[in-house]
Every structure is written in structure tokens, then in C-alpha cells.
A and B are shown apart, each in its own frame.
Chain A
Amino acid sequence: MKAPTLFDYKEVVGPDIIEELTILASHLANRSIKMVNSTAVGGGVAEMLHCIVPLLNELGIQVTWDVIQGDQTFFDITKRFHNALQGQEDYFKEDVFNTYLAYNEKNNDEIDFGEDLIVIHDPQPLALINWNQRRKNKWVWRCHVDMSHPNPQVWRFLKPFVEKYDAAIFSSPLFSPELNIAQYRFYPAIDPLSDKNRDLDAVYIDRVLMQYGIPRDRPIVTQISRYDPWKDPVGVIQAFKMARKYVDCRLLLVGDKAADDPESEKILEKVRAEAGDDPDIHILLFSPSIATEINAFQRASDIVIQKSLREGFALTVSEALWKRRPLIGGAVGGIPAQIIHGHTGLLVHSVEGASLGIRWLINQPDFAKQLAENGHQRVKDEFLITKSLKRYLLLLLTLDKQKEQTIFLSY
């Protein structure tokens, strides 16, 4: 499929939004950005860069994207760093840190950093700054990780590198640590024209549901999430069972297994045990998932649930809200930024709360519809890729003037 252009987004967000992007970009003629991350495919960051890089180029900004290279040794270390920054207990020997630095230094030798703005995504290439301290351009670290409870040892090691940057970007104030550099909030965003989010033909949706044996005879309650204890799939089944004493519905759990997570097989066993042989509970396992099918499951759902116990940002919430689905979400991580309780969905704190939410939304379809409509509008205002484009343009416009409160652009 041909990649969407800015013109295609006009239909979705309105011509005025695209016009303002072009005005901001007109003040940035010939400026350049380099994005650096650790993978070209898979994961939310790569997905976002695939979308945002061509659109920024279309706006006249010279944007390039480099992927750092490494072998299994390096990526095992960075995976451990990632988990540790998200709070997992771990202990790192000194040679682990040295190996991480050696790979970053090797990558630094192979990448040219001549652009006006260098955006380094996540911890894997974070230390590249170490060999670029005498620079004329600006460097920003974009952290996509939930840093609310970082492992102290790994944070002690990484923090001095972060503070060598000109600024850092986090998705939420909950994730932002104390730093001596400027910090910005950039919400993550979804692409409304991607396979995961674009409009689908009703016939296709019916066919997907039929293919996976999901009857559409009753309201469908769906959670789409990795089988991971923090997503609480067992709690979702318990909430469903409690709700079904009062309302007739089906439960659909759709998820993939994290290949690098030995715990995921155990949690899947627990999920299956909790579901028992209940014919109204459908457990689907993908590896990997197909974007249009996930889209179809969301669109076929009467209620979408994201009952996480700990969460990064959970863009699955924005995906479902964009499709005008009534949402029930755990009040953790980035979910409260997307779900304003009672206005764009229901925030819950327990299995019982989730169960009440299911009952309430099935019995109050008008209320559910209003929540879904509000949720769609909130995503349109804050969590679409066009808003990310605007933030990057503003970052480029303001980085030289961080001390100023207001910048007037004139021709």
C-alpha cells in the first residue's frame, strides 16, 4: 500500500491542522533532524518513525533515520536495561556497562551526526552522546519507557549520559526523573491511516470474526494485550465472570506472547485455567499479530478493556477510542491521560470496578456511546500522529531559545 501523504491526513484531522503544520514548517526551511533508535521493524518506536519521518520530509525538514547495530550480547544487555528502567530488579556487573559503552562507541564511529537536531530514542543508543559533547547542534533524548520506578543501579549509570543532552522528552510527568536539563512532554501517538487504525469494510470485520470462531450473537468485551501479568488478563476474566451474572456477553482476549519473556507461558496457563471450558471466553494467541485483524477485533467489540496493573502509555487505549469504542481502563501509567473518568471512558482500580464497568456500559448504551464519541475527540485532539509532527516542529523552532517564554515568528 502506498504510504499516506499529508494530503491524506487532511480528510482525517481537517485542512486547518495541516495548514498550520505547513506554516510552522515554512520557518524551518533546510533544517535537519536525525532520528536514531535500535530497530527498523517491530515495536512502537519503529512504527511511529516509519510514519513520522516521511511526513516531516514532506513538510520540508530533512529527516534521516539511523538504526544502531549490535549483536545478541548487546541487545540482551539493552533488554535488561529496558526492564530495569521499568522497575525490574536486576544487578549489573561492571563488564555489562563496559560492553554497552563499547557497542555505543562502535556505532558512533559509523554514524555521521551533522544534522541540526539529533533525536536519540530510548536507552539502547543513549550513550552515543558521550562521544559528541563538543557539538554545535542540539541533542535530545526521547524516552518511551515508563521510568516511574527505575532500578537505581542502572539509572545511576545512565543518568550522567542523559544530563549531557540539551533536553529530554517523556510521555508523562509520572515518568520524568529529576534532571538538570529541560524536559518536555510528548504524548505518544497513533496513525489513523495505518492498517491498525484505518476504517475497515464491515464485510472484512465479519469475515475475521467468523474465521476465528467468534459469534456475534451477544455484546463482545475485548482486551487486546500481551499475555503478561501487568496486563492482568486473569483479572479481566474474573471481572467478566462477575458481570455475566447480570449481563449477557462474550469475552475476547487477544494477545501475543513476548518471545523473550519466560513468564509469558506461565501466565497463559493461568489465563486458560481461569477461563476453564467456558464457551463464551475466547482466547486468541498471535505471534505476531496481523494489524488489520487487530483493527477488526477492536471495531467488532462493544466494550474494550485495558485492565492493566502497570503500564507505559497503552496506545491500545487510543486505538480503541479512535474507533469510537467505549473503554474501561486501569488507572495506571498513561491510561488516565487518555481516559478521563466518566467523560472519555471509565477508569477502574479493581476486578470489581471492571465488572461494574462492563455491566454499566452494556446496560447504558447511550452513555457508552457518548463516552466513545468524547474519547474519539480526545484522541483527535491529542494522540494522533499529526500532533507529534507539530511537537517536533516546535522542538526544532524552540531549542535555541529554551529560556524564552514566547517566541514570535515573523517573515
Chain B
Amino acid sequence: MADVFQFLSSASLEKLTGRKAETLDELLNLINTCPDSSIFYHTFSAYMKMREIRLPYNNDFSYWISNGLNEKALAEKIMATDLSEYNTLRSLRLRLIDIIEDYRNQKSEAFQKRADDPFHLFDIIRVVYLTDKFAYDLKSFREAISTISIYSIYFHFIECQLEKDLQTNDFSTWIESSLNLPDLAQMIKRIDLNAYTLEGLRTRILQLIDGYLEEISKGLTSAGLDY
């Protein structure tokens, strides 16, 4: 019998800090000195913001560097930071600092630029809560995925990496450890976060489950327990 998976969700309030940056040096100072929750807000939370309109955007710092300072190359380098690789706020903060400092060696004149519209530093208070959705096996998991909110998908697929310092997501962990379906777990783990909206992410997970079940029905994949 598989462990029961109870779906969680999260919500947050945005706090204004009154702190802002108009240059890369000022931005570096903010990144160096802001609380962890600000780093979280401008990176992890950015997956929630504007994703549904299909903007290639996953990070407030890179968005401002691109639009405010017109430093596209630096913006791309920051945007390409893999959150599953830098999955603690400490390591993510250090990585952001490294990228910006490295850019100084490549293009020092970028640090002389001053943006018309400043970068505003935010902070955040997160609230994590239980939902009334459960999964007991792959079938009920599939049903739940199709009905939970995008906030719940966001929590288990993105935010959980921060909670647990994991290099994977809650869904893959449960599917592997409780359902004993490592192939499916791996396929879900490999979904490229940057290529999907949260609704797109939901659709992709459902596609992978359906494809997996179809393969099992054809006898192409070894069946796990209790799916």
C-alpha cells in the first residue's frame, strides 16, 4: 500500500521594503544584504508571476537588467540559473552575485548605466496550508493533478525544492518512493520548468502519466506496485 500524498498549497503577501536599485552596483548591494525571503520572492516566486501569459521570464532580477538597463546578455545568464542546482537560498544568492561580478570583468561599462525605472526590492510572507486533495495511487494522483490549483502545483513542483533542499520535486519523490515507479518519476523530474506555464506544467504531467499508463497496458514498461 502506497503512502498517502496530501496536497499542500501556498500563498504569499508581498511586502514593500522601500529599497531600490538604479545601477548594477546598487543591485549587487541589494542582493548581498537583503533577507533570504527577498531572494526567494524575486526568483522562486517569479515562476508564479506572468508565467501564464507565456512571457519567457523566470526571475525579477533578469527582467529588470534586460528592460531597465538593456543588458541582455547578463539577463540571460541570470535567467538560465537552474533552481534545482542552486536550491538553497544561500547558494542561489552566491550564484547571482558571482554572475554579476563576472560580468564586470566582461563589460565594466555596464556598471556605469543608470536605469530610468528603478528595481524595487520586495519581501514576502509565505503561508503554506493543507488542501483537501489526496492521492493513494497513480489513478487518484492523476485525478488530483487535474483539479488542484496552480498554486498547489507550484508549491509541490517548485517551492518544495526550497523547503526540502531537494534536487527534485515532491511528485517525483512520492511516485518513486511510494509507488515504486522510478521511470515515471524521472520523466516528471526532467520537465523543463522554463518551457511551461503552470497550466502547461499540469498538462505535461498528465500527458506523462497517460503515456506511461499506455505503455504499461502495451507491456512496454515494467509495472510498479499499486499504481
A-chain residues with CB within 8 Å of residue B113 when the two chains form the complex: none
Give A365-411 interface residues, CB cut-off 8 Å to B.
374, 377-378, 380-381, 390-391, 394-395, 397-398, 401-402, 404-411
**CB-nearest residue of chain A to B38:** A405
* CB–CB A16/B148 < 8 A: yes
In the complex, the answer to whether B11 meets A381 with C-beta atoms within 8 Å is no
Q: Would you call B12 and A173 a contact (CB within 8 A)?
A: no
What's the minimum C-beta distance from A232 to chain B, rounded to whole angstroms? 20
Query: How does the 8 Å CB contact mask read for B106-130 relative to A, with 1 for contact and 0 for none?
Result: 0000000000010010101111111
* Closest chain B residue to A373, Cβ basis: B53
Q: Would A173 and B129 be within 8 Å (CB), given that A20-B149, A185-B14, A394-B11 are in contact?
A: no
Given the complex of chains A and B, what is the CA–CA distance between A183 and B36 in angstroms?
18
Q: Contacts A16-B148, A16-B149 hold; do A394 and B55 have CB atoms under 8 A apart?
A: no
Residues A126-143 near B (CB distance < 8 A): none
Q: Which of B91-149 contact A (CB under 8 A)?
A: 117, 120, 122, 124-132, 147-149
B168 nearest CB across to chain A (Å): 20
Q: A404-B125, A405-B124, A407-B128 are in contact. Are A183 and B150 (CB under 8 A)?
A: no
What does DSSP make chain B's interface, helix, strand, loop or mixed? strand
Chain B residue nearest to A411 (CB atoms) is: B130
Contacting residues, chain A, for B130 (C-beta < 8 A): 23, 409-411
Indicate whether A17 reaches chain B with its CB closer than 8 angstroms.
Answer: yes
Q: From B15-23, B26-34, B171-179, B217-225, give the one contacting chain A.
A: B15-23
**Which one of A174, A184, A398, A406 has the greatest number of beta carbons of chain B within 10 Å?**
A406
Residue B35, interface by CB 8 Å: yes
Closest to B15 in A: A184
Instruction: Tell whether, in the assembled complex, residue B50 and residue A378 are in contact, meaning their CB atoms are under 8 Å apart.
Output: yes
Return chain B residues, CB-CB under 8 Å to A411: 130
CA distance A177 to B18 in the complex (A): 7
Whether B125 and A23, one on each chain, are in contact in the complex, defined by CB atoms closer than 8 angstroms, is no
Whole-angstrom distance from the CB of B156 to the nearest CB of chain A?
A: 14
Which single member of B122, B131, B150 contacts A23 (CB below 8 Å)?
Answer: B131
Contact A390 B15 (CB under 8 A): no
Q: Total interface residues on A, using CB and 8 Å?
A: 45
In this complex, the member of B12, B13, B55, B149 whose beta carbon has the largest number of chain A beta carbons within 10 angstroms is B13
Query: CB distance A405 to B53 under 8 Å?
Result: no
Q: Do residues B149 and A409 form an inter-chain contact, with CB atoms below 8 A?
A: no
Quick check: A405 and B35 within 8 Å, CB to CB? yes
Give every chain B residue within 8 A of A407 (Cβ-Cβ): 125-128
Q: Is B9 an interface residue (CB 8 A)?
A: yes
Chain A 322-351, CB-CB to B under 8 Å as 1, else 0, gives 000000000000001000100110000000
Q: How far is the CB of B172 from chain A (nearest CB, A)?
A: 22
**For the complex, what is the distance from the CA of A173 to the CA of B130, rounded to whole Å?**
31
Residues from chain A with Cβ under 8 Å of B126 in the complex: 405-407
Give Cα distance in the complex from A402 to B152, angstroms. 23
Contact A24 B53 (CB under 8 A): no
Closest to A378 in B: B53
What residues on A are CB-neighbors of B11 within 8 Å? 20, 24, 390, 394
A24-B147 in contact (CB<8A): no
State the Cβ distance, A337 to closest chain B Cβ, in Å.
11
Does B72 reach chain A (CB closer than 8 Å)? no
- Chain A residue numbers with a CB within 8 Å of B164 are none
Q: How many Å lie between the Cα of A411 and that of B129 in the bound state? A: 9
- By the criterion CB–CB under 8 Å, are B16 and A176 in contact? yes
Give B173 Cβ to nearest chain A Cβ, in Å: 19
* Chain A residues whose C-beta falls within 8 Å of the C-beta of B128 in the assembled complex: 406-409
CB distance from B158 to the nearest CB of A (A): 15
Contact (Cβ within 8 A) B16 A20: no
Residues of chain A within 8 A of B124, CB atoms compared = 405
Question: Is B84 an interface residue, CB under 8 A from the partner?
Answer: no
The answer to whether A182 and B15 have CB atoms under 8 Å apart is: yes
Q: How far is the CB of A353 from chain B (nearest CB, A)?
A: 15
Nearest-neighbor residue (CB-CB) of B124 within chain A = A405
Interface residues of B in 30-86 (CB under 8 A from A): 35-37, 40, 50, 52-55
> With an 8 A cutoff between CB atoms, is B151 at the interface?
yes
With A17-B149, A24-B129: A340-B53 Cβ-Cβ less than 8 Å: yes
Once A20-B131, A178-B18 are accepted as A-B contacts, the answer to whether A184 and B149 lie under 8 Å apart by CB is no
Q: Using a CB–CB distance below 8 Å, which chain B residues touch chain A?
A: 9, 11-18, 20, 35-37, 40, 50, 52-55, 117, 120, 122, 124-132, 147-152
Q: What are 13 contact pairs spanning A and B, CB under 8 A?
A: A14-B149, A16-B147, A23-B132, A24-B127, A24-B129, A336-B117, A343-B55, A344-B53, A391-B13, A398-B127, A402-B125, A404-B125, A406-B127
